């Protein structure tokens, strides 16, 4: 298995192949759910942005205040250069398990494939707990965590449904996989025809945008 949990893996990958790549879904595949839950004026954090076109596509659809972070300095430098004409898009090297933002900064945190990548690394259970705790900390009291994953609910909800720790409720949606998938298949778990969208809402109820 590729070392998806290591920053060195991603630096090497993005150095060799700087072309945009979207894991699992393009924006078109999740647009309806993003439009349902995320407001155009929301302050958004894209956790583990990679060189996905998701931020660009959301920007073109009216979501203009997006901070993008990734553990790879290589890809962040590439994205700073690529999107230097869009000053409301911010790019910072940062680990999702140790966010350098004040409490209650964001309305929405989006993580497409990022949770799965963290689960591929060493100390995955502890790191997922750190990731979720940090997301909960930087979300506003009515904020939500929008996760795109190949992981089935029987597995992923074990990590997400810890209301005493994260103070959020989880709603699960499915979206069909693209007919011609751009994404590699990271494990046998990714064998069915859908991806899962986990909406973790602080404050106990999900407010649709």
Model pLDDT for residues 42-88, shown as the tens digit of each residue: 999 999 999 999 999 999 999 999 999 999 999 999 999 999 999 99
Q: What is the pLDDT of residue 204?
A: 60
Q: What is the pLDDT of residue 165?
A: 83
| For residue 207, pLDDT beyond 60 | no
5/143: higher pLDDT:
143
| For residue 208, pLDDT beyond 60 | no
Q: What is the pLDDT of residue 192?
A: 74
**Confidence band, pLDDT 50/70/90 cuts, at residue 148:** very high
**Is residue 20 exposed (0-12), middle (13-18) or buried (19+ Cβ within 10 Å)?**
middle
Average pLDDT over residues 183-187: 49
**Confidence band, pLDDT 50/70/90 cuts, at residue 180:** low
Average pLDDT over residues 124-132: 93
**Confidence band, pLDDT 50/70/90 cuts, at residue 188:** very low
Q: What is the pLDDT of residue 84?
A: 95
Q: What is the pLDDT of residue 137?
A: 95
**Above pLDDT 90, what percent of the chain?**
72
| Pair of tokens at residue 153 | 């609910």
Q: How far apart are CA 50 and CA 118, in angstroms?
A: 14
Q: How far apart are CA 16 and CA 172, in angstroms?
A: 36
**Confidence band, pLDDT 50/70/90 cuts, at residue 5:** low
**Above pLDDT 70, what percent of the chain?**
89
| For residue 98, pLDDT beyond 70 | yes
């Amino acid at each position: 298995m590729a070392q998806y949990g290591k920053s060195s893996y991603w630096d090497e990958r993005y150095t060799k192949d700087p072309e945009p790549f979207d894991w699992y879904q393009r924006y078109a595949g999740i647009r309806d759910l993003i439009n349902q839950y995320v407001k155009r004026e929301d302050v958004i954090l894209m956790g583990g942005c990679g060189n996905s076109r998701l931020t660009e596509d959301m920007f073109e659809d009216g979501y203009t205040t997006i901070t993008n972070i990734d553990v790879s300095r290589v890809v962040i430098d590439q994205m700073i250069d690529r999107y230097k004409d869009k000053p409301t898009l911010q790019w910072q090297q940062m680990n999702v398990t140790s966010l350098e933002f004040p409490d209650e900064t964001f309305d929405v945190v989006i993580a497409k494939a990022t949770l799965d990548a963290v689960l591929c690394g060493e100390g995955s259970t502890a790191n997922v707990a750190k990731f979720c705790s940090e997301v909960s900390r930087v979300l506003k009291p009515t904020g939500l965590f929008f996760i795109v994953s190949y992981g089935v609910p029987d597995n992923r909800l074990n990590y997400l449904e810890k209301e005493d720790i994260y103070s959020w409720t989880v709603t699960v949606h499915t979206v069909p996989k693209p007919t011609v998938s751009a994404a590699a298949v990271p494990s046998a778990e990714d064998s069915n025809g859908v991806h899962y969208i986990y909406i973790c809402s602080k404050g106990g109820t999900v407010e649709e945008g």
